[in-house]
Amino acid sequence: MNFHFTEEQQMMRQMVREFAANEIAPFVEHMERGEFPRPILKKMAELGLMGITVPEQYGGAGMDFTSYIIAIHEISKVSATVGVILSVHASVGTNPILYFGTEEQKQKYVPKLASGEYLGAFCLTEPGAGSDAASLKTTAIRDGDHYVLNGSKVFITNGGEADTYIVFARTNPEEKGSKGVSAFIVEKHTPGLVIGKDEKKMGLHGSRTVQLSFEDMRVPAENLLGQEGDGFKIAMVNLDSGRIGIAAQSLGIAEAALEHATNYAKERIQFGKPIAEQQGVAFKLADMATNVEAAKLLVYRAAFLRANGMPCGKEASMAKLFASKTAMENAIEAVQIFGGNGYTEDYPVERLFRDAKVCEIYEGTSEIQRLVISKHLFRGMGK
Ligand code: CAA
């Protein structure tokens, strides 16, 4: 594994850092008040970030997967909200079409997603099917040249804002579990697609998360992705790489917590000297920094495997598990180092604390990451 970014990746990182500092940071207050960052997404589209890994032939920037991970990492240091919107759009919102779509589907949707004209969303989770994704109940029954979808989805990131939704539904209700699940591309104005309640979340206030329901929603049969019954694998394969994006988002939060806490500790004087010089605080910062470096290695190792077309399911889960734990722990310690100030909205660590928690939950809880990792460990051991 190469520990150096290429010149192109370094240039891209610098560009994203400047963009995050100059454009995203001033918009954080708006997002905290619940504003969806449309102007930011428009500028990100102009920079090519919305289709960063999409091949040029489909209107993307044609960069490698590691560059995408660098972008999510750098953006999330400034705004985890923008980080998750981009991660969901560019990975699980776009890649199922890019990797499993027909040429017609790719030509129709991918250039619009890559240019940022369209925003993507991914609809797997249901009220009764969260960690146990294969128990989903939404049905898609073939009727002539359409499928008729009925059911509901919850916790849909980018829902209500997205132009295309990758929807998972059961085309064969007789089959149980992961069998009989299919994936569809659903356009936003499809009759029967009902945008439900906006969740009032602990954090990520500028990102929209909604409930959706499908009421006799007719989807053209040509919008089926792959074959009937391919849906669960399409979801899992795309979640493998989606999880590296969430790991990078977590890494961004963890690193931001470390940076804010370090700067504060160097300036805050108590007992006649900066608190950074008090061992209790200095050791906290040392642990936070060590965990950031360990998370970075796991995240970029998983990205390297994915970028080079190698299996990365186990490594993606390890990266997400560790990086999200580090994000949460570092945010807790950062608030502690800031003391009373850290508990107020006047300082950024309060937001990091609220934003970090969901990284241990979405795109598979930490318990599900452990399940995936352990399944990989048992392979080849007679199981
Ligand atoms: N790649 C390819 N195929 C895979 C796979 C992978 N990573 N994982 C599983 N499969 C295949 C299996 O090989 C198996 O195929 P066969 O039947 O042909 O053998 C089939 O899928 C079923 O696999 P399992 O028996 O392992 O399935 P399971 O029911 O035990 O579930 C699970 C596995 C890992 C627990 C899965 O349900 C899971 O990932 N749950 C978490 C769901 C999740 O992450 N949700 C996130 C929602 S999206 C989101 O949060 C986005 C957002 O808005 C931020």
Q: From the alpha carbon of 246, which atom of ligand 1 is closest?
A: 54
DSSP for 1-12, written as a single string: ---S--HHHHHH
Mean pLDDT of 170-192: 95
In a domain, 190, yes or no: yes
Task: Report residue 317's pLDDT band, with 50, 70 and 90 as the boundaries.
Answer: very high
Listing DSSP states for 296-329 in one string gives HHHHHHHHHHHHTT---HHHHHHHHHHHHHHHHH
Q: What CATH number has the domain bearing residue 67?
A: 1.10.540.10
- Does the pLDDT value for residue 280 go beyond 90? yes
Mean pLDDT check: name the lowest of 3-12, 122-131, 285-294.
3-12
At which of 119, 151, 170 does a domain end? 119
239 lies in the same domain as 366: yes
Domain contains 383: no
Residues 368, 263: one domain? Answer: yes
CATH number for the domain that contains residue 324: 1.20.140.10
- Predicted-complex ipTM score: 0.97
pLDDT digits (tens, 9 = 90+) for 17-76: 999 999 999 999 999 999 999 999 999 999 999 999 999 999 999 999 999 999 999 999
Given 74, 126, 315, 363, the catalytic residue: 363
Residue 355 Cβ inside 6 Å of ligand 1? The answer reads no
Does 114 share its domain with 14? yes
**Which pLDDT value is given to residue 218?**
98
Please indicate whether residue 236, judged by its CB atom, sits closer than 6 Å to ligand 1: yes
Assess whether pLDDT exceeds 60 at residue 193.
yes
Whole-number Å distance, alpha carbon 312 to ligand 1 midpoint, is: 14
User: Quick one: 207 and 268 in the same domain?
Assistant: no
Nearest CA to ligand 1 atom 11: 233
Closest Cα to residue 240, out of 53, 104, 336, 368? 368
Any domain includes 1 = no
CA atoms of 303 and 290, how far apart (whole Å):
20
Average pLDDT estimate for 116-141: 97
Measured at the CA of 15, the angle between CA 11 and CA 19, to 5 degrees, comes to 170
Q: 100 CB under 6 A from ligand 1?
A: no
Whether residue 102 is found in the same domain as residue 125: no
Closest ligand 1 atom to the C-alpha of 87? 54
Distance 240 CA to ligand 1 centre (A): 9
Looking up residue 127, the CATH number of its domain turns out to be: 2.40.110.10
Is 310 within the bounds of a domain?
yes
Task: Please name the residue whose Cα sits nearest to atom 15 of ligand 1.
Answer: 233
Instruction: Tell me the sheet residues that pair with 141.
Output: 148
Q: Is the C-beta atom of 341 inside 6 A of ligand 1?
A: no
pLDDT band at 3 (very low <50, low <70, confident <90, very high): confident
Residue 153 has pLDDT above 80, yes or no: yes
137 lines ligand 1 (CB under 6 A): no
One domain for residues 162 and 255: no
Protein residue with its CA nearest to atom 44 in ligand 1: 364
Residue 129 Cβ contacting ligand 1 at under 6 Å: no
Average pLDDT of the residues of the chain? 97
Q: Give the total number of structural domains in the chain.
A: 3
C-alpha 146, offset from chain centre: 31
**Taking the mean position of all CA atoms in its chain, how far away is CA 269?**
38
125 CB less than 6 Å from ligand 1? yes
Ligand 1 atom, smallest distance to 92 CA = 51
Give domain status of residue 349, yes or no. Answer: yes
Q: Which domain holds residue 342?
A: 232-378
Cβ of 133 closer than 6 Å to ligand 1, yes or no, is yes
239 and 209 in a common domain = no
Residue 28 domain-assigned?
yes
Atom of ligand 1 nearest to the CA of 209: 53
Q: Is 238 found in the same domain as 189?
A: no
The helix/strand/coil state of 176 is coil
Within this chain, do residues 369 and 236 fall inside the same structural domain, yes or no? Answer: yes
Q: Which of 122, 210, 232 to mutate to test the pocket of ligand 1 (most atoms within 8 A of CB)?
A: 232
**Ligand 1 centroid – CA 180 distance (Å):** 14
Measured CA to CA, the distance from residue 24 to residue 82 in angstroms comes to 8
Residue nearest to atom 22 of ligand 1 (CA): 178
Q: Kindly report the protein residue whose alpha carbon is nearest to atom 50 of ligand 1.
A: 363
Q: In this structure, which residue's CA is closest to atom 19 in ligand 1?
A: 178
Which of the 8 DSSP states describes residue 126?
A: B
Q: What is the distance in A from the centroid of ligand 1 to the CA of 178?
A: 8
Residue nearest to atom 49 of ligand 1 (CA): 363
| Predicted pLDDT of residue 96 | 98
Q: Name the domain boundary from 193, 228, 263.
A: 228
Ligand 1 within 6 A of 240 CB? Answer: yes
Confidence class for position 381, pLDDT limits 50, 70, 90:
low
2 lies in some domain:
no
Q: Ligand 1 within 6 A of 372 CB? A: yes
Same domain, 139 and 271: no
pLDDT in tens, 199-212: 999 999 999 999 99
pLDDT digit string, tens, across residues 219-276? 999 999 999 999 999 999 999 999 999 999 999 999 999 999 999 999 999 999 999 9
- 261 and 362 fall within a common domain: yes
Q: Are residues 251 and 296 in the same domain?
A: yes
Reported confidence tier of residue 383, pLDDT bands at 50, 70, 90: very low
Q: Which of 78, 103, 119 is the last residue of a domain?
A: 119
How does residue 173 score in pLDDT terms, banded at 50, 70 and 90?
Answer: confident
CA distance 86 to 157: 10
Catalytic residue at 363? yes
